[in-house]
Structure 1
Amino acid sequence: MTTNTATRTAAPRVLLNKVPEVTIWFWLIKILCTTVGESFADWINMQLGVGLMATAVIFTVVFAAVLIWQFRTSQYRPAAYWSTVVVVSVTGTLYTDILTDQLGVPLWISTSVFAVALAAVFGIWYSRERTLSIHSIVSKPREAFYWLAVLVTFALGTASGDWTLELTGWSPGVSVLLPLALIAIIVACWRMGANPVLAFWLAYILTRPLGANLGDWLASPKVPDQGLGLGTLVTSLIFLAAILATVVYLTLTKSDVIEGHQQARTPKYHRRGREWPMVGVMAGAAIAAGVLLNWASAQPHANAAAEGEGPNPAAANLHLSSKQALAHFPGADVRHFRTLVKGMDTALGKGDQASLNAHVDAYEKAWDDDQAKLQPLDGKAWTFIDAQNDGLFTSVREKKDPTAEKAAIAALLKTFG
């Protein structure tokens, strides 16, 4: 889809356009960047054990560096532009995760705050420049507004996507379908004459949960209704390679370069008389999505089941990735559990059953002590891990089978990273 161009340039210095043409390549590489940003951050944070705050600091520094690179270019350069998109996708995601995981801010509040922040950015941008079109990024102020809006869209997309998963209990594969359907409706409205700027930014926001859920689906364990089991590292490498190949292609062909300033360009499908009817269609789609989410949240799933006592039959069919299981639990508690589980693994490797029993007892006490705190934060994740714990306790205390013990500990190691 394309967007309107500006009728004037407000800045004293006019540059060549600093962003690419909006073609199929734009949307393809945008989703690739979003997916690799999600999976690569997860790999650094969880698999390497760097931690959420340290990962956020690292990517904030990298973001500043690539943003300086992008600002210093005099026109659109695929390598600089798309490197910035990859890093800003990770950075925006991490900021949302910090609010949720470290500060305990509910996802509905994060979603609301970022939505208001994005509206404020667009309002100030438009009041100053009289356009929100990305075909008019021909001055430093407009470029600054553009990247600020992009950062907030990634944070908003992360919060709203995670809130959807929290409400519904859907698996990553199923959760891909909602943003995909909404994007399809937006594209249809654009083709029928909707305001191209509005359609562009709505689709841009929705590609964030689409790409993130796609990454989770590829990386999550290969179990029914969960994922393909590629892991975060393999998923990251595949998508990084695809991004690199696409950027090289665009650099050589220049097929996404906007010639000149294109100030007089007329959008291909825009029909002013159809703007408001198409707004009504998109608003109706948003309302329908809200009704669907409300219905899904009311259906029996793990969060409700977790409130009961004793064995939970819903847990047998509940599968979460490490990120999903740990997303809402405090980092200090997760690190403590991880240490205890690694101690079990060490004791098992040495064949020291007494030490293994001691570590299991310590782990059980820590888990039971934290139940009152953890279960309200994420009942689904608590149920999932509690079911794994039951398997551990049974294998160590009743079966006393090294093979079963190894499998139970391996499952917890995968969860706690």
Structure 2
Amino acid sequence: MHDFRQNALSKVPEVTLAFWVVKIAATTLGETGGDWVSMSLHLGYAVGSAIFIAIFIAAVVAQMTAKSFQPFLYWSVVVATTTAGTTMADFADRSLGIGYAGGSTILLTLLLASLGAWYWSAGSIAVNTVKSHKVEAFYWVTILFSQTLGTALGDWIAGTDRNGIGLGYEYGALVFGAALALVAIGYYYTTLSRTLLFWAAFILTRPLGATVGDLLDKPLANGGFALSRSHATEILVAFMVACLLMFRQRAAAQAVPIRIDN
């Protein structure tokens, strides 16, 4: 009896340069869109979180019941995690008074717990193993926690309130951009785990997007470009749609065992 492997198609995209470009755009959109609903529309962080969590649940159900990879559906779920992550982190950090450092610590713990439970249950946290509803559920919960952590982390590094480090949006974006560059160097020039590097990059794109989003829509006096949140959100949506139309994304390949008897 021999154990061969062939490629099957996943419902998550192949990780390419286009994937990371769209991912950064989605995280930036999550910041501007989440702030638009909670702050510009004056709905508040709690109501905004409830709205985006409901959207996230509906989108995840649609994604998990889909029979094949659908780029627009997949990225709709990612955007739902980024907008929900923005409002949930702001609710914890600001409304509950936990602060950026406290919120980041709690969310990092939840993220690590999610990854640990996923690994304990499935034996791997590699994205090319996302082929069952159980693993897909772990995948999306982990992404939701990573996006929420990224918001809190970005605010902690850039902000001056709530004991933030106060680097500002421009320097905050540079810090996270440099960290992503180090991950890329690790990918191309070291033998570090590709799974570890993927999740490091995935997590770091969120605070990068958060600081870039704040840079776009915060007042000039606060170091931003003073774009309205609605206009910034519309521009980012258009950019994402253009990227998805121009750079056709393929489903990631999965290695699945096939047993053949002699």
TM over 0.5: yes
Q: Residue 136 of structure 1 contacts residue 263 of structure 1 at CA under 8 Å; is this kept in 2?
A: no
Q: Letter of the 2:205 partner, please give it.
A: T
Give CA deviations for 1:29-83 in whole Å, capped at 9, x if unaligned: 1111111111011112222222222211111111111111111112211011000
Query: Relative to total residues, which structure has the larger strand share, 1 or 2?
Result: 2
Q: 1:181 aligns with which of 159, 168, 178?
A: 178
State the aligned residue count. 247
Q: 1:117 aligns with which of 110, 121, 130?
A: 110
SS at match of 1:168: coil
What is the Cα-based RMSD across aligned positions, in Å? 2.0
Give CA deviations for 1:104-127 in whole Å, capped at 9, x if unaligned: 112222211211211111111112
The answer for the alignment partner of 1:58 in structure 2 is 51
The answer for the alignment partner of 1:217 in structure 2 is 215
Q: Compute the TM-score of the two structures, normalised by the length of structure 2.
A: 0.88
The answer for the alignment partner of 2:15 in structure 1 is 22
Matched, 1:172 2:169: yes
The answer for the alignment partner of 1:141 in structure 2 is 134
Q: 2:250 aligns with which of 256, 266, 279?
A: 256
Give CA deviations for 1:338-370 in whole Å, capped at 9, x if unaligned: xxxxxxxxxxxxxxxxxxxxxxxxxxxxxxxxx
Matched, 1:156 2:154: no
Q: 2:100 aligns with which of 81, 84, 107?
A: 107
The answer for the alignment partner of 1:267 in structure 2 is none
CA distance in 2, matches of 1:115, 1:170: 21
Q: Tell me how far 1:101 sits from its aligned partner.
A: 1.8
Structure 1 gaps of 5+ residues are 1-6, 9-14, 265-417
Q: Tell me how far 1:229 sits from its aligned partner.
A: 2.3
Q: Letter of the 2:64 partner, please give it.
A: F
SS at match of 2:170: helix
Q: Letter of the 2:211 partner, please give it.
A: N
The answer for the alignment partner of 2:239 in structure 1 is 242
The answer for the alignment partner of 2:260 in structure 1 is none
SS at match of 1:22: coil
CA distance in 2, matches of 1:108, 1:221: 24
Q: Residue 18 of structure 1 contacts residue 143 of structure 1 at CA under 8 Å; is this kept in 2?
A: no
Matched, 1:207 2:205: yes
SS at match of 1:19: strand
Q: Tell me how far 1:263 sits from its aligned partner.
A: 4.4
CA distance in 1, matches of 2:244, 2:225: 26
CA distance in 2, matches of 1:45, 1:180: 27
Q: Letter of the 2:178 partner, please give it.
A: A
SS at match of 2:59: helix
Q: Letter of the 2:118 partner, please give it.
A: W
Change in Cα spacing, 1:139 to 1:16, as seen in structure 2 (3 Å) is: farther
Q: Tell me how far 1:215 sits from its aligned partner.
A: 1.0
The structure with the larger Rg is: 1
Q: Residue 28 of structure 2 contacts residue 210 of structure 2 at CA under 8 Å; is this kept in 1?
A: yes
Matched, 1:230 2:227: yes
Q: Letter of the 1:133 partner, please give it.
A: A
Q: Tell me how far 1:163 sits from its aligned partner.
A: 1.7
Structure 2 gaps of 5+ residues are 258-262
